[in-house]
Amino acid sequence: MLTLRVLVFFLCITSSNLAFSQSLSFNSKCMTSKFLNSTDKKKNLIQAEDLSRFGLDKLQKKTFSASNRFLVHYDTVGINAPSQIDLNKNNIPDYIDSVLYYFEYAYQKEVVEMGYFSPIPDNGLSGSDAYDVYIKDLGNEPYGFYGFTSPESQPINPKIDKHDRFYSLIAIDNDYSPKDSTLGENNIKRQTYNETGIRALRITAVHEFHHAIQLMYASQDNVMMMELTSTSLENIIFPDSKDNLKNLNLLFRSPSLF
């Protein structure tokens, strides 16, 4: 059991290093580091007027979770639209039902049970105090990510807090399809996701929501540690996840990267 825990911890470190290796040409798992691994985080903040940078201001529909803690924004047609299958006939696509469920599950595990600070309510950027989750095709070029968490607006209570804390938003993929692909090593197309579908959705919800929690604390200076802890929670909350095993091949082929 101890050996397994050490291996999982090591794999999490490996995954987090991937996100920061600028020399790698293939996709990283989480784009949050692109916003935080900067000499000036404030330049990377998403403001209400520039949600359009990621097409987040034009999504066609939004739905609250049962507790109203989360507000999910999505398209019903177009490249960013998830499947519109609605087997339970509640006028919400089943994929969106799953998004709502797993973010509520992440909240239960990470805030209620583990006792972390809650990033909810947010600053009302999208018209409510619910935490905003955006659904977008992130699995294909030019992205190739599972998701990202971005700080919003200016720091919370900058005159009171010694270190910056931020409200945030999350974007995740619209289907985690096994057909999604990005350019890998030597410009060869590769499957973007190791785990796909709902299995990928659930670990992404846990991972990105933990980034939202981290941004409510007083320091984001160690971005690699932020990735490490978010990745480790994937396996703590979903022990059957094998998503990070994909990094072993790279580790053995190119140990100098780590």
Q: In this predicted structure, what is the pLDDT of residue 237?
A: 95
Q: In this predicted structure, what is the pLDDT of residue 247?
A: 64
Q: In this predicted structure, what is the pLDDT of residue 154?
A: 64
Q: In this predicted structure, what is the pLDDT of residue 14?
A: 38
Q: How far is CA 152 from CA 49, 119, 237, in A?
A: 11, 12, 27
d(CA 84, CA 82): 6
d(CA 113, CA 96): 24
Q: In this predicted structure, what is the pLDDT of residue 24?
A: 32
Please compute, for residue 121, the number of CA atoms within 13 A of its CA located in the half-sphere on the CB side.
9
Q: In this predicted structure, what is the pLDDT of residue 240?
A: 94
| Closest CA relative to residue 123, chosen from 48, 65, 183, 56 | 48
**Angle between helices 197-214 and 223-237 in degrees, nearest 10:** 130
Give me the residue label for tokens 């703590």: 236
Q: How far is CA 88 from CA 47, 84, 195, in A?
A: 36, 12, 25
Q: In this predicted structure, what is the pLDDT of residue 157?
A: 63
Per-residue exposure over 74-109, b if at least 16 CB sit within 10 Å of its own CB, e if not: bbeeeebbbeeeeeeeeebbbbbbbbbbbbbbbbeb
pTM of the model: 0.80
DSSP 157-192: STTT-SS---EEEEEEESS--TT-EEE-GGG-EEES
DSSP 56-78: TT---EEEE-TTSSEEEEE-SSS
| Closest CA relative to residue 210, chosen from 124, 144, 115 | 115
Q: In this predicted structure, what is the pLDDT of residue 155?
A: 62
d(CA 213, CA 225): 14
Q: How far is CA 145 from CA 117, 139, 172, 174, 256, in A?
A: 26, 6, 8, 11, 24
**Angle between helices 2-20 and 223-237 in degrees, nearest 10:** 140
Q: In this predicted structure, what is the pLDDT of residue 13?
A: 38
Per-residue pLDDT 10s for the chain (258 aa) are: 433 333 343 344 334 433 333 223 334 566 565 555 543 444 444 444 445 556 677 788 999 999 999 999 999 999 999 999 999 999 999 999 999 999 999 999 999 999 999 999 887 777 789 999 999 999 987 778 899 888 876 666 655 555 677 888 999 999 999 999 988 767 788 888 989 999 999 999 999 999 999 988 866 567 777 888 888 899 999 999 988 776 666 667 766 655
Residue 22 structure tokens: 């600028």
